[in-house]
Amino acid sequence: MIVCITIKAGNAPNLKFESSIDRRGPEFLETKKIKSKETLSGFYDWLRASDGEIIGVRYWLEAWEVQRIGDLRWDSRFVEITPSCIQIFFSSSRGFDNPISQDQEFGQSGICALDDETVRFFFETSLSEGEFLTKI
């Protein structure tokens, strides 16, 4: 299953579930500021609260990739960028338990800028939509 996270400036992230990524779709034809790769090289962790609830995702990237996405417009209430990763929170809750948030998933992933204010992330996960929804 693919978890699609769309972030529009000023809004909370929107989650959607897909069975696969259509790389011919408009979101991959128009990548504006992120042009060199559709699929980034990083891995990702689902950020979990101490009760196991998934509250976000941490996307580990190469420094040049972080720099490139750091140039886009972000809402700091939901997105935190460090030199090595981007953390996306599904709400204002940021209290994650690091020892249970280290999935290091290497599934298919990607990012694209739909316009100057909207960015979409894609993460493949072994969790089913039902399992994922019970944990967020």
pLDDT of 56-92, one tens digit each?
999 887 777 777 776 666 778 888 888 888 899 988 8
Structural domain that includes position 72: 2-135
* DSSP calls for 22-83: -TTSHHHH--TT--S-SS-S-EEEEEE-TTS-EEEEEEE--HHHHHHHHTS---TTTEEE-S
Domains: count for the chain: 1
Least confident among 35-49, 51-65, 78-92, 104-118: 35-49
pTM of the entire structure? 0.77
The answer to whether the CB of 57 falls within 8 A of the CB of 45 is yes
Closest CA to 45 of 1, 2, 106: 106
